[in-house]
Structure 1
Amino acid sequence: MSTPGPYPGPDSGPHPGPDGEQGLRLIPFRGLRYVAERVGSLAAVTSPPYDVVVRPDGQRHLETADPYNVVRLILPDAESPAARHRKAARTLAAWRDAGVLAADPRPALYVYEQRDGDHLQRGVIGALRITPPERGVVLPHEDVMPGPVADRAALMRATHANLEPLLLAYRDGDATAALVERTAGTREPLLATTTEDGVRHRLWSLTDPAEVDAIRADLAGRQALIADGHHRWATYRRLRAAHPPGTAWDYGLVLLVDTARHPLRVRAIHRVLERLPLDRALDAARPYFRVRALPGHSLGEALGALADAARDGNAFVLAGDGGFHLLDRADPGVLDRLVPADRPPQWRRLDAAVLHTVLLDHVWRIPDSPGSPDEIRYIHAADAAVEQAERHAGTAVLMHPVREHVVLELAQQGVMMPRKSTSFGPKPASGLVMRCLDLG
């Protein structure tokens, strides 16, 4: 039996590959970073991950924060996908030529710290060997859509770069954790900045071969759960398969966080149905759910009512007309009939599973499919989701977070949750360190 990882799959752990190695293999790289003297501030050139940016408003805000904001690389603006990807490649090359971005002199692993109020998260950024699913090294828990994977793959090909790291969770890497904590507690960081959301970020480099080797040995035989970045991991796998072995495409940029020491937050991802008026959504849902208007107009109170209702079963808050409406107490017969019976009980009880199979597919007839990518918008912030729905006279569906142990149980069984079921965080800021494949 192989060494069990932190999130053991059906066969207890990662399986060795043709090279005999198993588990996580993290290697150093020459990070590409902003030159502080060439930009307004490091905070002004960062961005949330590409799929968290609320478009178009959030994208415009970031573009105007600084002419060199990384959003111009991860979400380039042009008339067609091909033009966007070419523009990102030209922009990246221009910024490197102008000295706005510069490569660190030596390959390194990077200790990364985020502090959001009382919440502290630390981990290690490096280039992780990309392994096939059957190896059981990196465990996904959500399905992906082919459109975003194709888009990210084309962007990475054009730029020849990993522009933002995935977030991966693992547990009980004692040697790595000790080195991370010692580095953060005793060494001067490469950079320190506070982004406009109030999160403080610090970054250190580890270049000592003995420290790098200690981390490599500590991670061998371990597994990790994809906390954020399923589409980018699928993109890494696609690009590795498209290139011969032994190239830089064998690895992808990740942040590994030991959640035994720094537990992640689990938050919901909300849906906005811009083409579905709220009154129509409520009327159509009444035969299947109890529908009640919530008193007051406070988002906080509405989310509190949602949390209370979620203790007893599936529940959603719908918004878009200035008020809030609670959907709960679904008809059990409807759930039995419409939610696929060939899935584990934990999956059948997921709010996202009920939302997509009952409300979206059957009641509202808004499929979440590659052929209708604009029908459903996924937004992480509840206030932004409500604002978008009100602006477009549509419907916001506010979700309650999935409990972390449910995510892990399903991942252990190899069962995929509906996409965008969870939001783990804090997510790494984009723009603090990038990986250009021509740098090694």
Structure 2
Amino acid sequence: MTPAAYDARVRTAGLDLAPFRALRYAPGRVAGLADVTSPPYDVVVRPDGQRALETADPHNIVRLILPPSPDRAAATLTAWRRAGVLVTDDLPALYVYEQRAAGTVVQRGLIGALRLTPPAERTVLPHEDVMPDVVAERAALLRATATNFEPLLLSYRGHADDAAADLVERTAARAPDTSLTTDDGMAHRLWRVTDPAGQSAATRALAAHRALIADGHHRWATCLRLRDEHGARPPWDRTLVLLVDTARYPLRVQAIHRVLPGLAPADALGRLTGAFRVRHVTGPLDAALRFLDDTPGTAFLLAGAGTFHLLDRPDPALLDRTVPGGRPEAWRRLDATVLHATLLDAVWRVPDRPGGIAYLHDAAAAVTQAERLGGTAVLLRPVREDTVLALAEQGVTMPRKSTSFGPKPATGLVMRSLADEED
């Protein structure tokens, strides 16, 4: 049964999750699943991390999510399917997905095909702005391949007797259909749920909820664009998601750092006179980051040319002049807001466009890239989850790449072919 046919049986007012026939790597056709999976496309450090994944296995999913061109991705996908490397599951299913670190379950959730809802419905809440060029890039890839390669990470707050959460826990009590451990030490387990009664119970329970986009704003915006291009017709009216009940499995929130390749550290510091208090901080990186974490108020850590500097106590008059009004005070105080509105736009005049700013999830990788390019890394602190949710519920989005929720699902374990559903 396709998700479109499923709609005729189960209608929901909130989250509308449907089973689907997943596209997956065929057992025995690759050396191992750990060799062909990848972090999400925007977490892969380029070029070194991408190159490492490409050489891990000739069929690594990174060749599809970060291809030289959308047409190349489409040709590669077709070739892999014809060769039997990627195959479609025989029955529609929801998929229970678990991640463990050091033997402890850190996340469990449910993967399915979620109905795309217009922003006005307020069923799925974004919390960050998006970059138009990234949405255009992802849209070109989706048009060419007609495949959801990566599940978006969405969070919701379930009830004590939630049937969806109960299905996840009951399913995880049996042996998994798929298991692997990736290079970062994270253990991944996956189960298929093909029982129609269990699927319907979970779907009906989710209808009482709305969700926060924890990770995947650009992919969500991309899918909304393609949905509109296809007149909201199936299968373009749904996308692939992992729904996590954060009442049971709270997500971790981390910062996303900036690298400014065209701004040398000396120039960055020289332009700060009177704008911020600037102090030299002794390394190594871990010690410097602890110093940043312990600093009250707005603060950033600048790295480059082998040194660290802490920026704090911004000039109040400068903030009044540069940070837009008409937004909640919690938004105006965000480090990311001050960084973009005051530092990047007004003080440093760094254009937020490809090549002007790089966004990296790992602080050490950001420092390494800044050192290699002769630029400046701006390291940030994570935003509290309750701040993120409070702003999202008010319909206020944070600056792009303000947060990194995790753990993120591995890319390549479960994919959704829209072309299969059109047949």
SS of the residue corresponding to residue 28 of structure 2 reads: helix
Task: Tell me the CA shift for residue 20 of structure 1.
Answer: 8.0
Counterpart pick for 1:143 among 107, 117, 129: 129
**2: CA distance, partners of 1:340 / 1:76:** 38
Q: TM-score, length-normalised on structure 2?
A: 0.95
Q: Report the aligned-residue RMSD.
A: 1.2
**2: CA distance, partners of 1:111 / 1:218:** 16
Aligned residues, how many? 409
Counterpart pick for 2:378 among 388, 397, 417: 397
**2: CA distance, partners of 1:346 / 1:89:** 43
**2: CA distance, partners of 1:404 / 1:335:** 24
Partner of residue 171, structure 2: 183
**2: CA distance, partners of 1:246 / 1:375:** 38
Partner of residue 91, structure 2: 106
Task: Tell me the CA shift for residue 85 of structure 1.
Answer: 0.5
Describe how 1:109-258 pairs up with structure 2 within 5 A. Answer: 109-117=94-102, 118=104, 120-173=106-159, 174-185=162-173, 187-258=174-245
The superposition leaves residues 95-116 of structure 1 with CA deviations (integer Å, 9 ceiling, x where unpaired) of 1111111111101000000112
Task: Tell me the CA shift for residue 410 of structure 1.
Answer: 0.5
Would you say 1:315 and 2:312 are equivalent positions?
A: no
The superposition leaves residues 325-359 of structure 1 with CA deviations (integer Å, 9 ceiling, x where unpaired) of 11111122221221112111000000000000110
The superposition leaves residues 378-405 of structure 1 with CA deviations (integer Å, 9 ceiling, x where unpaired) of 0000000000000001000000000111
The answer to whether the 8 Å contact 2:98/2:105 transfers is: no
**2: CA distance, partners of 1:246 / 1:288:** 52
Letter in 2 for 1:361: D
Partner of residue 82, structure 2: 97
SS of the residue corresponding to residue 190 of structure 2 reads: strand
Counterpart pick for 2:260 among 273, 278, 286: 273
SS of the residue corresponding to residue 43 of structure 2 reads: coil
Counterpart pick for 1:290 among 277, 280, 287: 277
Task: Tell me the CA shift for residue 119 of structure 1.
Answer: 5.4
The answer to whether the 8 Å contact 2:128/2:397 transfers is: yes
The answer to whether the 8 Å contact 2:54/2:62 transfers is: yes
The answer to whether the 8 Å contact 2:65/2:73 transfers is: yes
Partner of residue 67, structure 1: 58
**1: CA distance, partners of 2:399 / 2:81:** 39
Would you say 1:350 and 2:334 are equivalent positions?
A: yes
Q: Structure 2: which 5+ residue stretches go unaligned?
A: 1-9
The answer to whether the 8 Å contact 2:227/2:233 transfers is: no
Partner of residue 51, structure 1: 42
- Worse overlay, 128-137 or 242-251: 242-251
**1: CA distance, partners of 2:226 / 2:237:** 8
Task: Tell me the CA shift for residue 86 of structure 1.
Answer: 0.6
Partner of residue 422, structure 1: 403
Counterpart pick for 1:86 among 56, 71, 94: 71
**1: CA distance, partners of 2:53 / 2:266:** 34
Counterpart pick for 1:23 among 7, 14, 20: 14
Letter in 1 for 2:108: R
Letter in 1 for 2:49: G
Runs of 4+ in 1 over 6 A off after TM superposition: none
The answer to whether the 8 Å contact 2:73/2:141 transfers is: yes
**2: CA distance, partners of 1:119 / 1:427:** 14
- Worse overlay, 30-39 or 223-232: 30-39
**2: CA distance, partners of 1:21 / 1:35:** 33
Q: TM-score, length-normalised on structure 1?
A: 0.91
- Worse overlay, 19-28 or 232-241: 19-28
Task: Tell me the CA shift for residue 21 of structure 1.
Answer: 4.3
Q: Percent identity?
A: 64
SS of the residue corresponding to residue 343 of structure 2 reads: helix
Letter in 2 for 1:364: W
Task: Tell me the CA shift for residue 188 of structure 1.
Answer: 1.9
**1: CA distance, partners of 2:331 / 2:272:** 22
SS of the residue corresponding to residue 359 of structure 1 reads: helix
Task: Tell me the CA shift for residue 286 of structure 1.
Answer: 3.0
Partner of residue 360, structure 1: 344
SS of the residue corresponding to residue 419 of structure 1 reads: coil
